[in-house]
Amino acid sequence: MPPVTFRISRGDKTSTEFREYTTEAGEGMVVLDCVHQIQSESAPDLACRWNCKAGKCGSCSAEINGQPRLMCMTRMDMIDTSQPVTIEPLKSFPLIRDLVTDVSWNYRVKKSIKPFKPRKPDAPDGTWRMQQKDVDRVQEFRKCIECFLCQDVCHVLRDHHKHPEFAGPRHFVYTAALEMHPLDTEDRLGQMKHEGGIGYCNITKCCTKVCPEHITITDNAIIPLKERVVDEFYDPLTRLFRMFKPKK
């Protein structure tokens, strides 16, 4: 492969600029390999996050030619290298430096969601019984590697900056995993409606499209959650029943 030119966004919250770097892309290399090579050849202080380099930890999220992707799972032979390849940080979060953004908001949102609360164990030895088919859908959600690409691409966060009022796709998936967990007894629908702002999502499915774990975020997590919220808060019959239901 001939040398490839990259345009990498450099800078911090005060200012950024694109700088060009050229490096050799060998057989089978991924974008993260090229970034590492650039670090060791010409830009040792180029900031980027990464850990596993195997698509399992979700650290190296970036926008490659405008597409939100994991740098470690994007092969050079998949992208057009006739033009310089652009690498930018995620846009939905404040920039720290170069390709690294401050994603701490996500950790705060997660902490605010009510934790797992299991029912009493099914067996005297303190264990439970669950059928595989009943855990399949929860296992899909639990594949999430918290790369936050779904948060990055969601226009409610990216364009409308609704961070304080909107939990974002990652946390809808997290909540769905808890709500649909066969053992869980907690109720988070009020949280989803109010603090989570799930009503803001207008199911454009951009999150599903970018998910590197292929979780069907919109169809399997967000829409069922929206339906539950509607049943709980807007269904006239349910409201009527609730008036006579003893308080929890």
For position 230 contacting other proteins by CB under 8 A, the verdict is no
Instruction: Mark residues 164-183: x for contact with other proteins by CB under 8 A, - for none.
Output: --------------x--x--
Q: Give yes or no for residue 40 binding other proteins (CB under 8 A).
A: yes
Single out the residue of 19, 67, 96, 220 in contact with other proteins (rule: CB under 8 A).
Answer: 96
20 or 27: CB nearest other proteins:
27
Shortest distance (Å) from residue 115 CB to other proteins: 5
**Binding of other proteins at residue 42 (CB under 8 A)?**
no
Which of 21, 64, 71, 98 is in the footprint of other proteins by CB under 8 A?
98
- Residue 79 touches other proteins, criterion: CB under 8 A: no
Max distance between CA atoms of the chain, in angstroms, equals 73
Residues near other proteins, by CB under 8 A = 12, 26-30, 33, 39-40, 44-59, 73, 75, 96-98, 100, 102-104, 107, 110-111, 115-116, 118, 121, 125-132, 135, 138-139, 142-146, 178, 181, 184
